[in-house]
Amino acid sequence: MKNSPLNVVVLAAGAGKRMRSDLPKVLHPLAGKALLAHVLDTARGLGAKKICVVIGHGGDSVRAALPAADIQWAVQEPQLGTGHALLQALPLLDQNAPTLVLYGDVPLTQAATLQRLIDAAGQDHLALLTAHVSDSHGYGRIVRVDGKVTRIVEEKDADDAERAISEINTGILVASAAALSRWLPTLGNQNAQGEYYLTDIVALAVAEGTKVVTAHPAALWETEGVNNKSQLARLERVHQRNVAEALMEAGVMLADPARIDVRGELVCGSDVFIDIGCVFEGKVSVGAGSTLSANCFLKNCSIGPGVRIQPFCHIEDAEVGANSVVGPYARLRPGTVLANDVHVGNFCEIKNSTVASHSKINHLSYIGDTTMGSRVNIGAGTITCNYDGANKFRTVIEDDVFIGSDTQLIAPVTVSQGATLGAGTTLTRDAPANQLTVSRAKQISIAGWKRPQKTKKT
């Protein structure tokens, strides 16, 4: 990307009434990230050192939600139109740099498209991002005479001939800050909406002999805005499809590119297979040759190579070592670190625990605040009782321990190397190495015992 100075102004003061939400429109999430944050990240990708965001409606919450050192906020109050919005940013701009105007509710514009527009503008042209669409309703139309752009006319101000024009104004443009300083203060609001239209700068540019050029997006969704929940959902699908394509291009096998959701950053090694219905949040990495089965949720976690995550697993802030097998129906909570070749089976919950290699926790267990060694076998229904209602305590289970089914380990407690706990044990004191420890009541049988009989009704 170019390093020559660039002003970026993001217009985000509009009310967004059609979202029918208390949340400001530009804070609505797309792929788990606010619409405005998408726009800001794209601007940063262009090398913008400072970005000016014009806020109005819900401005305080917008500012609070997206704090960043490289943003300058300009408040537009009241909102009198796009031209008036840009005017509020004018004092904050580097007067010697071109200015790129973006909309806070148009999240998916690609950096390459904007770079083409910036290049087209050069130092002193006015460059408009325009597109030919089949349904131009609602957009400003690009009026050309002999192929040259002469002005933009808004839908509400257009006559029938102008409405028939299929080239529309996306709203995104580049102009020098110096030119904007000349044009913006002279805008009027004598139009159908009584607003100061930014689009009127085109006629001003033409009148003073400034060249007006156009560039076009590679795809129409790049310039689509979000005005309601339906458009938001549509762009979410477009974005997810793009993410899926990029994953497949990188060699990931997807059972269905339409049924994966990545709300963050997913990095995969080679030959990873992802079945349908998997959702990824935050930063997730998956090692080579691993398989994620249907309907798993993974958030901020790293999955090693050769791992099998079986269906319906929930994994958050956790690490899974190489060649491990997890699930189906397993939950790895924050602080879980599994070494290599660990097996965690169905209906097991693990929290804030490390499990060394080759250990198995295969059925119906809760392991919390535990340090577990290698080659440990945890029987079905084992529970670490880590919480006394006020404080939490650790359980230590050393290498080669065998824990019988339905055992409770009352922390703090240590099970030393090679120990065996009999099924049903409630362990309240440390278990010594290499011995059988069992706390269960002795089994007895009562000869001649009779079952109670129902008393007969008289």
Q: Which residues are catalytic?
A: 363
Question: Which 3 state secondary structure label does DSSP give 453?
Answer: coil
Residues 6+ apart with CB under 8 A from 311: 275, 293, 294, 295, 296, 327, 328, 329
The β-bridge relationship of strands 29-30 and 7-12 is: unpaired
Residue in the shown chain whose Cβ atom is closest to ligand UD1: 140
Chain residues binding ligand UD1 by CB under 6 A are 11-14, 54, 76, 79-82, 84-85, 103-105, 139-140, 152, 154, 168-171, 197-199, 225
Cβ closest to ligand UD1, residue 30 vs residue 85: 85
What's the distance, Cα to Cα, between the start and end of the chain in Å? 97
Please give the full DSSP string across 254-270, using - where no structure is assigned: ES-TTSEEEEEEEEE-T
> Which sign does the torsion angle of CA 437, 439, 442, 443 carry?
negative
In the complex, minimum distance from the CB of residue 266 to ligand UD1, in angstroms, rounded to a whole number: 29
Cβ closest to ligand UD1, residue 129 vs residue 262: 129
In the complex, minimum distance from the CB of residue 171 to ligand UD1, in angstroms, rounded to a whole number: 4
In the complex, minimum distance from the CB of residue 138 to ligand UD1, in angstroms, rounded to a whole number: 7
Cβ closest to ligand UD1, residue 102 vs residue 298: 102
CA angle 414, 417, 421 (to 5 degrees): 65
Length of the chain: 458
Of 63, 87, 65, residue with least CA distance to 73: 63
Cβ closest to ligand UD1, residue 125 vs residue 151: 151
Cβ closest to ligand UD1, residue 223 vs residue 382: 223
Beta bridge partner(s), residue 73: 53
In the complex, minimum distance from the CB of residue 115 to ligand UD1, in angstroms, rounded to a whole number: 20
In the complex, minimum distance from the CB of residue 137 to ligand UD1, in angstroms, rounded to a whole number: 10
Give dist(CA 272, CA 255) in Å, integer: 11
For 115, half-sphere exposure in the C-beta direction (CA atoms, 13 angstrom radius) is 12
Cβ closest to ligand UD1, residue 62 vs residue 252: 62
**Contact yes or no for 45/111 (Cβ under 8 A):** yes
CA angle 262, 357, 282 (to 5 degrees): 15
